[in-house]
Structure 1
């Protein structure tokens, strides 16, 4: 039985204060991000910049699409109450317990004593975030989960599913650590496919994220062929072009490879679905299976 502590950062109180008084970036840095300092260290983002105006957690947060006090509070004015109404703060622990149960059932003790969850308001001026229906997350470092949200009709019912997706990343990376600088397209397909199929298993296909697209047979076949040719490419800049598609690649300064939005997420989803169908494995078992095995037994590139 997996037993762990869940700590939820009280970001709501911080945002409510931002609407009532002048709050600077240092409050964001020390109240909202310091509990995640170890995570940021893994990502080489210091709590405070090493040089004035240099890279730090505030800048890193903005790059992820997180609203910070360096931007106008008018951007979050209506979103604070909307985020509270989703009830994700009160449901968060239940999501993680429910997710962990899948691994308890196959006898895997997750080697994490505490999960720190930070549910944050997104920046509605961030085009990449808004292109994914106003929400995204980060679960690349076991023990830490970020959920970034600009609340809207589409995502407000899908936040539990998004948390389950990020929890799956956390568990996966206790088995196969995430190597941001040397990850391959093939590895990333498996990582994202596992997480989205896991979330679907818990909360149903109707709660699936927008990153899985509905392709017709022709586009699916074409996209698989492009992925097959590029699946050995490594490094986050190259991988991103395959995962996010040409539109985001251009926005982020990466070389487009001829793919539509979120192509990698879509193919990863089908890859994992095919693996489960071909092997009869559960999604929890698949989460603890080498990427190479999943790809080979999915037969998606045969």
Structure 2
């Protein structure tokens, strides 16, 4: 049986403080980011910059699309109450419990004693975040999960699913650690496919994120062919072009490869669904299965 502690950063209290008084970036640094310091250390983002104006957790947060007090409170003032009303702050424990139960059922002991979760308001001026219906997450370091949200009609009902998606990443990376600098397209396809199918398995297809696109047969076949040719490409700059598509690749300064938005997420989803269908495995079992086995037995790239 998987047993662990879940600690949720009190982000709502921080945002209420921002409404009442002038809050600077250091309050954000200590109250919102210091609980995640272990994650930031792994990502080489220091709590304080080593030189004035240098890279630190505040800059890293902004790059991810998180609102910080460096920006106007006007951007999030009307978003605080909708975030509270999503109910994720009362339901998050249940998401962890239901997600962990799937792994208990297959006898996989998750080697994490405590999960620290932080549900943050996103920056409405961040184009990449807003292109994914105003929400995203990060679960790349086991024991730490972030959701970032600009609440809207689409995402406010999907935060349990998004949290389960990130939990699956956490578990996956206890089995196959994530190598940001040397990850392959094939690896990333599987990583994202596993997470979204896991969330779908728990909460239903109607709670699926916007990163899985509805392709017609022609576009699906074309996209699979492009992925087949590029799936051994390595390094996050290469991988990003395949995963996020040409539009985001151009925005982030990467070379486009001829793909629609979120192409890699979509194909990864189909790879994992095909693997489960062909093998009869559960999504929890697939989560602790090597990427190459999943791709091979999905037979997606065989033709």
Equivalent position of 2:14 in the other structure: 14
Unaligned regions of 5+ residues in structure 2, if any? none
Equivalent position of 1:296 in the other structure: 296
Equivalent position of 1:88 in the other structure: 88
Q: CA deviation at 1:16?
A: 0.6
Equivalent position of 1:118 in the other structure: 118
Rounded Cα–Cα distance in structure 2 between residues aligned with 1:160 and 1:195: 13
Equivalent position of 1:68 in the other structure: 68
| Number of matched pairs | 302
Q: CA deviation at 1:65?
A: 0.3
Q: Deviations over 1:158-197 (max 9, x none)?
A: 0000000000000000000000000000000000000000
Rounded Cα–Cα distance in structure 1 between residues aligned with 2:144 and 2:89: 15
Equivalent position of 2:206 in the other structure: 206
Normalising by the residue count of structure 1, what TM-score does the alignment of the two structures yield? 1.00
Unaligned regions of 5+ residues in structure 1, if any? none
Equivalent position of 1:188 in the other structure: 188
Equivalent position of 1:244 in the other structure: 244
For residues 280-291 of structure 1, the aligned pairs below 5 Å read 280-291=280-291
Q: Deviations over 1:210-261 (max 9, x none)?
A: 0000000000000000000000000000000000000000000000000000
Q: Deviations over 1:25-78 (max 9, x none)?
A: 000001100010010011010000000000000000000000000000000011
Helix, strand or coil for the counterpart of 1:213? coil
Q: Deviations over 1:124-159 (max 9, x none)?
A: 000000000000000000000000000000000000
Rounded Cα–Cα distance in structure 2 between residues aligned with 1:248 and 1:16: 33
Q: CA deviation at 1:24?
A: 0.2
Q: CA deviation at 1:20?
A: 1.1
Q: CA deviation at 1:19?
A: 1.1
Rounded Cα–Cα distance in structure 2 between residues aligned with 1:28 and 1:178: 28
Equivalent position of 1:223 in the other structure: 223
Runs of 4+ in 1 over 6 A off after TM superposition: none
Normalising by the residue count of structure 2, what TM-score does the alignment of the two structures yield? 0.99
